[in-house]
Structure formats: C-alpha cells, structure tokens
Amino acid sequence: MTASLPDIDALTLAEQVAQMVVVRTCGYLFDSQIPYPEWEATTATMQHLVELGIGGVIFLGGSAAELALRTQQMQSWAKIPLLIAADIEEGVGQRFPGGTWFAPPMAISQIARTNPQLAAQYAETMGAITAAEALAVGINWILAPVVDVNNNPDNPVINVRAFGETPSVVSPLANAFIKGAQAYPVLTAAKHFPGHGDTTIDSHVDLPVLAHSPRRLAEIELAPFKSAIASGVDAVMSAHLLIECWDVEYPATLSAPILTGQLRDRLGFTGLIVTDALMMKAIASRYGTNESPVLAVEAGADILLMPSDPKGAIDAVCEAVKNGRISKRRIRESVERIWQAKRRIGGIKIDPSKIALELSQPEALATVEKILQHSQVVRGKVPLTPTPKGYNLIVVDNLLGSSKFLTEHSPAVALPKSLGYTTWLCDRHTPFDPTIETDNLPTLLQLFIRGNPFRGNTDLTQVGINWFKTLLNSGNLQALIIYGSPYILEKLTPAMDFEIPCIFSYGQMPQAQTVALHVLFNE
C-alpha cells in the first residue's frame, strides 16, 4: 500500500515547512502520565500539531502495547501519513517494554574480534528484528544505527552504543544492521554526522569541540558514514559538535559547510538529513529556540527534530523564506526528499491486537541470548558455590528509573535471593558512603553502569569503585558482575585476585542477568 501524498505545489509554504518538523511526544496514553510536561505536549496539543500538518513524531516512553495504540491515534489525525521515529538503537524493547531488547551494539563488535562473519550476521538479524517489531507497533523510522567510532573510552554519550572502536569494525556491522532493516518498509538513520565517537563532553549538556584535521576525520569518523550511504541508509543525523577544521562558528547541525558542503556535496548523500534533537542545550540555549531551526534549514537539514517550540520553528522558517534568507526551492527540495521517504514506508495500518504475535518471539529472544553469551567476558573461578548467608549488593545509577531492567522479579535480584542471599541496593540517592564498615559476610557485587546521556557516570562509577575497594580490602568480595560498560571492567579487574569470579556483560536487561548468573552459579 502506498501512502497518498498530495502534490507538493498544492501545499502552502507553511504546510511544506510543517512537513520538515518532527515533534517529540510520549508513548503513554494519558496526559497524567506525561513524564516531561515541559517538553512533551498534551494529547490535545499533539492533535492540533498533527492536524496542522507536522511531518512526523518521535516517541519516548510507554510500553509496546501503548505505543501501538498511540501511533494509530496519531496517524488517524494526520492528513499526510506521519513519519514515526524512535531511538531504538537496541531494538524496540530498549525503549518500549514488550519488544525485543538487544545488547548494545558494542557487544556485537566484541564478537567481531574473533568472528567478524558471525558478528555481521547478528547485526543483520538485529536490524531485521528491530524493523519487523518497529513496524508492528507503528514505528516507521528507526533512528539507528549509530555509526560513530567510539575511540575514546571516556565518551559519556556514545560508548557502548557504537558498533566498535575502529572504522573497520563499525562499517561492516552498521551496514549489516541497515541491510537487515531494509527488508522492511522502515527507514533507518546513520548517526551522528560527522562522528561523535571522540568526545568527552555530552552535547545534551554542552557543545563539544572536535579539533581533528580533515585527513583524520576522513580516515576515522567519516568512513562508516560513507559506507552507510553506499549501503543505502535512508537518513543521516547530524551531531551537535563543533568541527573546527570545517566550521569554526557553527556546530555540524547548523553548519552549511558540513551538512551541505561535506555530507550532501562531497559524500553525495541524497537521502534525508535530520538534525539531532534541537531542544538539546548545545543548540537551543546557544543559538536560540526559533533561530536554530532556521540555521539548520539554511545549513541543509531536511528534518528538524524535536524543536522546543514546533509552531515557533515553522513560523520562523516561513519568515526566513519570506524575507529571502531561505529560498522556496530549498524548502521544496526537502519536502521532495520527505515524500521519497514517505513513499518508501507506505501507509501501512497496524492491528494492535496482533502485537503479542509479532514482538519478542522465541527466535528473537534466542538471538539476543546468543549475542549475550558470545560477548560475555568471564574471569576467575566459576562456578561459584553460593553462600546462603551472603549479601547480594546491586549498585545502579538510579533506582527511580531502572524498572525496565530491575524489579523484584529480575534475575539479578531473584536468583541470588532464591539461593539465600540478602538483597542490598545502592544508587545515587542512597544516603551513605560505602566506605563505612559492614559486617563480615561474603558479598556478590553487581554493578549496572553504562554511559548516561544526561549526566556523566562519574559519580556512580565512584560509588561502585568505593564499594569494590571496601569489599576487596575486607576480603568479602565473593564475585563481581558488571553489566554495561567494558571500560569499568578494565578499571577494576587489575586490582582483583585472579581467583575471584568476575563476569562482564554488555547487556543490562533481565536476559543478560540470567546469562551471567547461570555461568556464575552454574544454575
């Protein structure tokens, strides 16, 4: 079924510009459930914006079932079918409980070290399952793969989201993901152009600067983008990064030399150029809420993602056309590319009552398990004989936001409990320092640490390290499991007795916990 798209010239300027805007919305069904009222509009406002003719929405929050109902609600309001995007880099289940949740891409790059062919197969399956499940809940645009080369272990924002640490690993895996997704009428997006892998500042918080030479950029950062473009990726997302050698004034998202000069002209990309979220601080507070959308369009963007004020963004871009700053042709070119994308995805209607048959199917879960098993690192002496009177100490960034992977029923909690362990929990809100004395019981330490886009994970790492040291010094560290960042593993293990069991998993989801604990206890 092909989406019925009107003749572009039959649209007013404002209608054309509205098609370039993708608005943030939440996947919950009720206004009372909106987690970020300052950024996510009420249902009535969303209906107004969709009826006004915005080009699409991006979903955050809600379960897969809620999302399936909500995407159809939004499409039912739209005269022109909506792009429906989501940041599902690790599968639908990463964001929307009920879908399949894959290990982060870097898990696959770990497998590629020994078996590149198998790793590419996993990446392709991951792309295919993610696309099939996206479609089942009404998502038609996967904002993935991340093709950044994570060559800086201190990177707080990319980290395990990358398909590797070198372009020669990233490119084939990202291509395989794209290839897998291409079997379905779902769009993909390579991000974050020209490469966000070598930064230590998070652009959600401030504007990072990349001081590399054009030659280095071509060798490392640009290579996976070239390769993704050759593979036919549908969109490229810009980074909020200052690339000094190309543009000393504007970050990539707002830079004509970068989006048009490099991406469109030099790399010859003919698909959608989409900005990263315009509400992010690196852009919104520096360049102005409604000025930054204008700058982005001037720079060459086709899609303005998550402007803080969608109506204001449309008005500002229209005004810029009226006063000659942006040409009508420039707008029309973007809408043509949007039409091309919308034709590819069609106007498929979904049946929410079918999602139980389409998501989290046994083969999908089996693939996740294989990836987790093959990428898991095991050191020290396993299996461990459980200690019925021991402690199971879990350190997690934020207990108030961990329910997707940590509940009473999660293996990390339930399995040691069934063996007699007492559960202890710490997070950034725990009122005490772990350096105080504890009683003398063997302790299984489970750390859930990975980069967090909205805060450095330094604090949490420190809490984890303090606990680790306390337990190591008292001789009570029975075993260590790290879920998330391989860089934490590298920090901690040199101090450890080689005999103490230590497991590292890239995943944090319940399946990852099962895989790790079964090895630890040989359950």
Residues near a copy of itself (CB under 8 A) are 28-33, 35-36, 43, 63-66, 69-70, 72-73, 97-98, 352-353, 355-356, 359-360, 365, 391, 393, 398-401, 403, 406-410, 413, 423-427, 429-432, 434, 436, 438, 510-511
Q: How many C-alpha atoms does 295 have within 13 Å on its Cβ side?
A: 21
Shortest separation between residue 491's beta carbon and a copy of itself, angstroms = 23
The helix or strand, by DSSP H or E, that contains position 480, with its residue range, turns out to be: strand 477-484
Q: Which is nearer to a copy of itself, 40 or 298 (CB)?
A: 40
- C-alpha span between 104 and 351 (Å, rounded): 29
* Under 8 Å between Cβ of 139 and 87: no
Token reading at 222: 């640009």
Residue 215 or 429: which CB sits closer to a copy of itself? Answer: 429
72 burial type by CB count under 10 A (0-12 exposed, 13-18 middle, 19+ buried): middle
Give the number of other CB atoms < 10 A from CB of residue 233: 26
Q: Are 57 and 85 in contact (CB under 8 A)?
A: yes
Q: How far is the CB of 449 from a copy of itself (least distance, A)?
A: 18
Which residue's CB is nearer to a copy of itself, number 34 or number 496? Answer: 34
Nearer to a copy of itself, 177 or 405 (CB): 405
Locate 444 and state its tokens. 């299984």
Distance CA 198, CA 210 (A): 8
CB 175 within 8 A of CB 228: yes
**Does the active-site annotation cover 265?**
no
> Is 276 one of the catalytic residues?
yes
Least separation in angstroms between residue 133's CB and a copy of itself is 11
In this structure, the number of other CB atoms found within 10 A of the CB of residue 344 comes to 16
CB of residue 287 vs a copy of itself: minimum separation in angstroms?
26
**The pair of three-digit structure tokens given for residue 370, joined into one six-digit string:** 């294989």
Distances (CA, A) of 283 to 147, 300, 311, 371, 385: 22, 16, 18, 37, 53
Helix, strand, or coil here: 30? coil
Q: From 40, 78, 85, 39, select the one nearest 59 (Cα to Cα).
A: 85
| E strand segments, 307-385 | 377-379
Strand-pairing partners, residue 482, are: 447, 504
Catalytic position from the list 276, 302, 397, 427: 276
Distance of closest approach, residue 370 Cβ to a copy of itself, in angstroms: 16
Cβ within 8 Å of residue 91, ≥6 positions away: 99, 100, 101, 102, 126, 129, 130, 133, 368
Nearer to a copy of itself, 130 or 511 (CB): 511
CB-nearer residue toward a copy of itself: 75 or 203: 75
Nearer to a copy of itself, 320 or 471 (CB): 471
Cis, bond preceding 214 (omega within 30 deg of 0): no
Local structure of 167: helix, strand or coil: helix
Nearer to a copy of itself, 7 or 408 (CB): 408
Least distance in angstroms from the C-beta of 97 to a copy of itself: 7
Q: Which is nearer to a copy of itself, 98 or 224 (CB)?
A: 98
Joined together, the tokens standing for residue 131 give 């696309």
Q: 502-505 and 377-379: which strand pairing?
A: antiparallel
- Output the six-digit token pair for 438: 């504890």
Question: Cβ 201 to a copy of itself, closest distance in Å?
Answer: 23
Q: Which of 87, 196, 198, 204 is labelled catalytic?
A: 204
Q: Minimal distance in Å, beta carbon 189 to a copy of itself?
A: 27
Quote the least distance from Cβ 304 to a copy of itself, whole Å.
Answer: 26
Q: Which residues, 6+ apart, have CB-to-CB distance to 125 below 8 Å?
A: 180, 367
In angstroms, the Cα distances linking 313 to 26, 169, 252, 276, 295 are: 20, 39, 19, 15, 11
Catalytic residues: 204, 276
